[in-house]
């Protein structure tokens, strides 16, 4: 599987990223992936825009030149590189993202392992569907509407004090916005349905997703995750192409 | 608990968006006794604005989904759902009166649900809320 249409710019962190050209995996090759031992997976998964034959996921959104720029920043987390000259200082947001990279890599790896039964069931509905997730766990930061006590951006697993300027009282924690790209499945919903939940197409998916959610909740690595049954939202190719932020894509066991 | 012992009741209709979402939510509260809609703020539906309500007695969940900012549409989506171990006619007795009247015995559809979309659309339309089954 290759290029996912016209890709969207990453907002922050690994960010930058114009939408043209070939895709690449991104900054994970150092701070994010190296510490978690998934460097090869992530780099192979993304660089050049081709789906990995043994990787976990495919991060899309960057051109090769972007990756060079990103790696330049990323290596600041490496002590040897940090002493070098000529590196651009990391912004506050970039530091937040980089500091969370190791734990994010482990979380993503765990989710990639636990999602397999759900993935298989979804692919029974459409073997050509692409499944992944987006959101703060991918970007490393919560969205700009959720801020910390001093009005600062918050890491994906940070504590939110305000949302849209008002005190935040909902449960803390992060989640993953799972999605399915499938024109065939999207076509089975009304065009007026903006949130297309795949369980409406097959009731049995509910129990599969519940088991997936239970497995995630039982995993100590994911203790900061919100406790809810995961839902998989269907997008047509066109719909997802309009979304900002980046995405991770799951690979099935047989392709990992 | 075996999956096939659970009745999975669902309905999904479109309501024309001639009024603001909150006004439609208020009208639905009037029709469906005992429910109170609140804005969904946990991000469950991501950028899609929504009101949710749960009927305490039956456990039924009601969701009214709006139109995301920047999108164009002429309808909202209104749905209810419940997973229950009760036989359908027993469940009918504890459902809100508005829902009670539209529940009949029927077979599950090809997706495994007892689908009351047509019945809900008809009941809403009969009460002045023009609605139709959500179709592709």
Using one digit for the tens of pLDDT, what is the confidence trace for A164-189?
899 998 888 888 899 999 999 999 99
Q: What per-residue confidence (pLDDT) applies to A177?
A: 92
Using one digit for the tens of pLDDT, what is the confidence trace for B89-104?
999 999 999 999 999 9
Q: How far apart are CA B11 and CA B28, in angstroms?
A: 14
Give contacts of B73 with chain A, Cβ < 8 Å. 191-192, 194
For an interface test with A, the pick among B46, B76, B82, B116 (most A C-beta atoms closer than 10 Å) comes out as B46
Confidence of residue B88 (pLDDT cuts 50, 70, 90): very high
DSSP A109-175: HHHHHHTHHHHHHHHHH-TT-EEEEESHHHHSB--TTEE-TTS-B-BTTS---EETTEE--SPPSB-
- Are A195 and B48 an interchain contact pair (Cβ–Cβ within 8 Å)? yes
| Ramachandran bin of A85, using left for φ above 0, alpha for ψ from -120 to 50, beta for the remaining angles | beta
| pLDDT(A149) > 80 | yes
CB count, 10 Å around CB of B107? 7
| pLDDT(B127) > 70 | yes
Q: What per-residue confidence (pLDDT) applies to A17?
A: 26
CB count, 10 Å around CB of A252? 12
Q: Is the CB of residue A208 less than 8 Å from the CB of residue A121?
A: yes
Give contacts of A233 with chain B, Cβ < 8 Å. 46
Using one digit for the tens of pLDDT, what is the confidence trace for A185-238?
999 999 999 999 999 999 999 999 999 999 999 999 998 888 888 999 999 999
Percent share of chain A, pLDDT over 90: 38
What's the gap in Å between the CA of A206 and the closest CA on chain B?
10
Q: Does an H or E element contain A26, and which?
A: none
Q: What per-residue confidence (pLDDT) applies to A224?
A: 87
Using one digit for the tens of pLDDT, what is the confidence trace for A81-126?
445 555 677 888 787 777 777 788 889 999 999 999 999 999 999 9
Give the alpha-carbon dihedral of B101, A207, A56, A188, to 10 degrees: -30
Q: What Rg do the C-alpha atoms of chain A give, in angstroms?
A: 18
Q: Is the CB of residue A45 less than 8 Å from the CB of residue A52?
A: yes
Nearest C-alpha neighbor of B77 from the set B58, B57, B49, B97: B49
DSSP B20-80: -HHHHHHHHHHHSTT---EE--SSTTTTS-EEEEE-TTT--EEEEE---TT---SEEEEEE
| pLDDT(A136) > 90 | no
B41 touching A (Cβ < 8 Å): yes
Nearest C-alpha neighbor of A93 from the set A12, A27, A165, A164: A12
B75 touching A (Cβ < 8 Å): yes
The two tokens of residue B78 are 């209104």
pTM (whole model) above 0.90: no
ipTM of this predicted structure: 0.94
Q: Is the CB of residue A228 less than 8 Å from the CB of residue A175?
A: yes
Q: How far apart are CA A81 and CA A73, in angstroms?
A: 9
What average pLDDT does the structure give for chain B? 94
Q: How far apart are CA B53 and CA B37, in angstroms?
A: 5
CB count, 10 Å around CB of A168? 18
B12 touching A (Cβ < 8 Å): yes
Q: What Rg do the C-alpha atoms of chain B give, in angstroms?
A: 15
HSE value, Cβ hemisphere, 13 Å, CA-based, for B20:
3
- Regarding predicted confidence, which is higher, A60 or B46? B46
CA distances, A212 to each of A115, A143, B131 (Å): 6, 25, 35
HSE value, Cβ hemisphere, 13 Å, CA-based, for A17:
28
Using one digit for the tens of pLDDT, what is the confidence trace for B51-67?
999 999 999 999 999 99
Q: What per-residue confidence (pLDDT) applies to A28?
A: 34
Which among A8-22, A54-68, B44-58 has the top mean pLDDT? B44-58
Sign (positive or negative) of CA dihedral A151, A156, A161, A165: positive
- Are B48 and A194 an interchain contact pair (Cβ–Cβ within 8 Å)? yes
For an interface test with A, the pick among B15, B72, B111 (most A C-beta atoms closer than 10 Å) comes out as B111
Contacts of residue B66, defined as CB under 8 A and 6 or more positions apart, other chains included, come to B17, B21, B48, B49, B50, B76
Q: How far apart are CA A134 and CA A58, in angstroms?
A: 12
């Amino acid at each position: 599987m290759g290029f996912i249409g016209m890709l969207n710019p990453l907002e922050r962190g690994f960010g930058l990223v114009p939408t043209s050209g070939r895709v690449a995996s991104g900054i994970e090759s150092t701070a994010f992936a190296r510490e978690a031992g998934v460097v090869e997976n992530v780099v192979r998964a993304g660089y050049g825009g081709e789906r990995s034959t043994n990787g976990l996921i495919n991060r899309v959104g960057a051109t090769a030149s972007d990756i060079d720029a990103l790696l330049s920043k990323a290596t600041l987390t490496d002590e040897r590189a940090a002493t070098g000259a000529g590196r651009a200082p990391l912004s506050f947001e970039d530091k937040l993202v980089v500091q969370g990279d190791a734990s994010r890599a482990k979380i993503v790896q765990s989710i990639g392992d636990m999602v397999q039964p759900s993935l298989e069931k979804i692919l029974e509905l459409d073997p050509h569907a692409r499944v992944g997730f987006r959101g703060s766990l991918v970007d490393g930061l919560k969205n700009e509407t959720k801020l910390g006590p001093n009005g600062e951006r918050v890491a994906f697993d940070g504590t939110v004090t305000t949302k849209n300027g008002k005190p935040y009282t909902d449960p803390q924690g992060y989640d993953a916005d799972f999605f399915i790209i499938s024109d065939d499945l999207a076509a089975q919903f009304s065009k007026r349905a903006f949130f297309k939940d795949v369980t409406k197409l097959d009731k049995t998916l509910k129990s599969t997703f519940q088991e997936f959610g239970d497995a995630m909740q039982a995993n100590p690595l994911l203790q900061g995750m919100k406790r809810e049954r995961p839902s998989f939202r269907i997008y047509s190719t066109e719909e997802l192409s309009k979304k900002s932020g980046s995405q991770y894509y799951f690979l099935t066991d047989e392709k990992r | 608990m075996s999956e096939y012992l659970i009745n999975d009741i669902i309905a999904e209709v479109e309501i024309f968006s001639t009024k603001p979402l909150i006004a439609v939510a208020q009208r639905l509260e009037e029709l469906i006794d005992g429910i109170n809609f609140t804005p969904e703020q946990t991000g469950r539906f991501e950028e899609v604005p929504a009101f949710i309500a749960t009927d305490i007695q039956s456990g039924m969940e009601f969701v009214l989904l709006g139109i995301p900012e920047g999108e164009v549409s002429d309808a909202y989506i209104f749905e209810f759902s419940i997973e229950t171990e009760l036989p359908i006619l027993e469940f009918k007795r504890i459902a809100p009166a508005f829902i009670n009247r539209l529940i009949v015995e029927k077979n599950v559809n090809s997706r495994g649900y007892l689908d009351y979309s047509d019945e809900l659309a008809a009941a809403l339309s009969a009460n002045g809320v023009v609605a139709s089954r959500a179709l592709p």
